[in-house]
């Protein structure tokens, strides 16, 4: 059973990393500010953004369908949600808070040198707040496994 739990935990970690990266690409490629850096061709950044959104959505659906870990014994399901996993979730939540504060500081500092609109700043900070905990949880799960 330990091998099955390790496989399922490893799969969850990989899915979270892939989802976080796809979410970041989707959001950042959709910003007008970054399409200007890409040479002004909005079609290219829109295509990349749409592709990343599709990949993120498919990964989310797969992750949600496997939430109950169909076919796994109750012991394996319980092991995937034990006290250590719950503690890692809380640590990841805390890390996400700090990532958002650091992102806000970076955006604020950058806005002193480059014009950044308010909605772009908010979106960048929120992207950091969504992706940060996902990556932190995957790192914590890999370290504590």
Tokens encoding 25: 């690409």
Closest C-alpha among 15, 25, 20, 13 to residue 139: 13
Are the CB atoms for 8 and 79 separated by under 8 Å? Answer: no
- How far is 6 from 80, CA to CA, in rounded Å? 9
State the pTM of this model: 0.80
Which H or E run contains 41?
Answer: none
CB 133 within 8 A of CB 92: yes
Domain ranges of the chain: 2-144
Written as tens digits, the pLDDT of the chain (145 aa) is 577 778 877 888 888 899 999 999 888 887 776 666 656 667 777 888 889 999 888 888 887 776 656 666 767 767 777 788 889 889 999 999 999 999 999 999 999 998 888 888 999 999 999 999 999 999 998 776 5
Give pLDDT, residue 36: 64
């Amino acid at each position: 059973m330990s091998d099955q739990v390790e496989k399922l935990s490893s799969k969850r970690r990989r899915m979270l990393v892939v989802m976080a990266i796809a979410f970041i690409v989707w959001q950042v490629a959709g910003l007008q500010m970054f399409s200007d850096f890409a040479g002004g061709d909005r079609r290219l950044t829109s295509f990349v953004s749409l592709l990343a959104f599709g990949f993120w959505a498919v990964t989310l659906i797969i992750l949600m369908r496997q939430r109950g870990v169909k076919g796994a014994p109750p012991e394996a399901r319980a092991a995937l949600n034990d006290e250590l996993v719950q503690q890692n979730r809380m640590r990841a939540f805390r890390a996400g808070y700090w990532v958002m504060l650091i992102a806000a500081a970076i955006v604020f500092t950058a806005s002193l040198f480059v014009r950044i609109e308010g909605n772009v700043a908010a979106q960048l900070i929120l992207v950091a707040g969504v992706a940060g905990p996902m990556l932190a949880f995957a790192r914590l799960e890999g370290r504590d496994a």
